[in-house]
Amino acid sequence: MTDKAFSIGEDELQAFIDDRLEGDRRAAVEAHLAAHPELAERIAAERRQRAILRSRLEAKFAEPVPARLRIANLRAARRSFRARSWTSAAAAVALFVAGATAGWFANTIAPAPLAPTPTASVAQGAHAAYRTFVVEVAHPVEVGVQQEAHLLQWLSKRLGRKLAAPDLSPFGYRLMGGRLLPGGNGAAAQLMYDDASGRRLTIYVRATEGKETAFRFQKEGEAATFAWIDQGFGFAVTATATRDELLPIAEAVYRGFEGKS
Amino acid sequence: MADAEALLEPLIPALRRYAYALVRDHDAADDLVQDTLERALSRWTLRRSDCDLRAWLFTIQRNLHVSALRQDRRRGPHVELDEWTTPKAVATQESGSEVQDILAALDQLPEEQKSLLLLVGVEDLSYDDAAKVMGVPIGTVMSRLSRGRQRLRALLETGRATLLRRVK
């Protein structure tokens, strides 16, 4: 067999190093290497180094798995975390039901329309955006934190409101970047943060009619949202967190934006 | 969720090995594995049934590692091997044989080459699965693998050459 029977490319050489060639292809590479001693030497060295790397890491593979990495233990920790989240979610639902019932009885002649309040609609928009982009690995943000000034200037211009990125480092979250989204009748901005373990948090802002100023808490699935309206803009902070974890962050964001329109 | 334990546990040794080779610290490696497993459990129902479980776990782990690297501001800018004039880490190991140096040499590679050498060469991921983990086309996997192996070889040979000169 001659070299001309098959063309030997880098792909073939790599597959040969990894012992993933069979039959004719393997024979062709061997023949090619026999005819090119310099290349043969390189490939032999790379095969040897691959074997050395494997054996160097063998002991790590053979180690017993520490208790903290046992799935049963990790799940037990998750269950207690979830139980806590459920308690606060249930409390929020109870409060909401109590409020809604009171509203209903106070207003028996003309029941309030069931259209979502502006705050609820901001919370829904924020939640949808969170769910869409937080799982995004390749492009979680449109503009990264490296271009923070440009990002904020751009989003501010499109929103029609000066937007600053609140510093959430006291809570362990760092700005990753942001993106522009459709929201309500205009544009919405989403800023994304993450913490050391890769947990993500978003701040969502869009122009909104309405005068409701109270914080609204909403939990859907694992994502919790605090939303509020301030001076013609709706704001929402969303994260996979409990109400108690998220509230101080929402308050810090609120203080960060207050009076900066 | 019931099958999570049975499916995940056998894969933990491989995750620990990949993590250790990436961060070179036993505790930090187990932190990375723990984060990976927690994330996998929290998204267990979202994982795609057509995606290999090992490849999915390696993807999560590598993404967590890469974002931690990005966040680690203490690190200076990445130095490409081509800009190297002195192979410090390799040459300073006095008793360094090729075997002891290989992880230090691997550390000098860009993360995407290092990860590929580990995922393909050590963890035996198929080229297709490696492409999925890295989020790049298979052609890129092959060329990075080739570049990574050649750089590793060059590093080890330079290191050895330095050592031999010193012995002389």
A105 and A124 housed in the same domain: no
pLDDT given at position A78 = 74
A126 and A79 housed in the same domain: no
A53 and A174 housed in the same domain: no
Residue B131 has pLDDT above 90, yes or no: yes
Residue B100 has pLDDT above 80, yes or no: no
- The continuous run of DSSP H or E covering A143 comes out as strand A143-144
B151 and B90 housed in the same domain: yes
| CATH number, domain with residue B150 | 1.10.10.10
pLDDT given at position A209 = 78
Of the partner residues B4, B63, B121, the one whose CB lies closest to the CB of residue A54: B121
| CATH number, domain with residue B10 | 1.10.1740
Last residue of a domain, one of A23, A39, A62: A62
- The span from the CA of B157 to the CA of B148, in Å, is 14
**Contact between chains at B46 and A54 (C-beta distance less than 8 A):** no
B94 and B60 housed in the same domain: no
| CATH number, domain with residue A215 | 3.30.200.100
Question: To the nearest whole angstrom, how far is the Cα of B153 from the nearest Cα of chain A?
Answer: 6
Helices A37-56 and B98-107, packing angle to 10 deg: 90
B16 and B44 housed in the same domain: yes
Domain extent at residue A210: 115-257
Q: Identify the band that residue B31 occupies on the pLDDT scale cut at 50, 70 and 90.
A: very high
A122 and A251 housed in the same domain: yes
A220 and A184 housed in the same domain: yes
- The continuous run of DSSP H or E covering A108 comes out as none
Q: Which residues pair with A239 in a beta bridge?
A: A201, A224
pTM of the shown model: 0.54
Looking up tokens 């309405």 gives A210
Sign of CA dihedral A78, A83, A87, A90: positive
A150 and A248 housed in the same domain: yes
**Contact between chains at B8 and A17 (C-beta distance less than 8 A):** no
Last residue of a domain, one of B76, B94, B113: B76
Pick the residue with more confidence: A201 or B99?
A: A201
Counting the structural domains of chain A, the total is 3
Q: How many residues does chain B have?
A: 168
pLDDT given at position A102 = 53
- The span from the CA of B116 to the CA of A182, in Å, is 39
Q: What is the mean pLDDT of chain A?
A: 82
Domain extent at residue B20: 1-76
Residue B57 has pLDDT above 90, yes or no: yes
B85 and B117 housed in the same domain: yes
pLDDT given at position B133 = 93
Sign of CA dihedral A109, A113, A114, A119: negative
B31 and B71 housed in the same domain: yes
Pick the residue with more confidence: B69 or B16?
A: B16
Backbone angles phi, psi at A31, to 5 degrees: -65, -40
Residue B108 has pLDDT above 60, yes or no: yes
Residue A124 has pLDDT above 80, yes or no: yes
**H-type alpha helices, chain A:** 10-17, 23-35, 37-56, 58-62, 71-106, 118-133, 148-159, 243-257
Residue B14 has pLDDT above 60, yes or no: yes
**Contact between chains at A57 and B122 (C-beta distance less than 8 A):** yes
* Averaged pLDDT for residues B73-91: 46
**Contact between chains at A14 and B142 (C-beta distance less than 8 A):** yes
Backbone angles phi, psi at A227, to 5 degrees: -130, 150
Pick the residue with more confidence: B142 or A252?
A: B142
Write out chain B residues lying below 8 Å of A70, CB-based: 9
B90 and B104 housed in the same domain: yes
Residue A211 has pLDDT above 80, yes or no: no
A1 in a structural domain: no
A12 and A36 housed in the same domain: yes
pLDDT given at position B8 = 92
Q: How many CB atoms lie within 10 A of CB A122?
A: 29
Tokens standing for A120?
């609820």
B126: exposed, middle or buried (C-beta count within 10 Å: 0-12, 13-18, 19+)?
middle
- A88-97, A204-213, B14-23: least confident range: A88-97
Last residue of a domain, one of B76, B101, B131: B76
Last residue of a domain, one of B76, B107, B126: B76
pLDDT given at position A116 = 64
Looking up tokens 């522009």 gives A180
Is the minimum CB–CB distance between B97 and chain A shorter than 8 Å? no
ipTM greater than 0.85, yes or no? no
Q: Identify the band that residue B11 occupies on the pLDDT scale cut at 50, 70 and 90.
A: very high
Counting the structural domains of chain B, the total is 2
Residues of A with CB under 8 A from a CB of B: 10-11, 13-15, 17-18, 42, 45-46, 49-50, 52-57, 60-63, 65-66, 68-72, 74-75, 78, 135, 137-138, 174, 194, 196-198, 222, 240
Cβ burial A169-193 (10 Å sphere, 16+ → b, else e): eebebbbbbbbbbebeeebbbbbbb
- A193-197, B1-5, B102-106, B148-152: least confident range: B1-5
Pick the residue with more confidence: A92 or A257?
A: A257
pLDDT given at position B143 = 95
A191 in a structural domain: yes
pLDDT given at position A197 = 75
Q: Identify the band that residue A108 occupies on the pLDDT scale cut at 50, 70 and 90.
A: very low
Write out chain B residues lying below 8 Å of A66, CB-based: 30
Tokens standing for B136?
């790049």
- A113-127, B84-98, B151-165: least confident range: B84-98
Cβ burial B24-33 (10 Å sphere, 16+ → b, else e): eeeeebbbbb
B84 and B145 housed in the same domain: yes
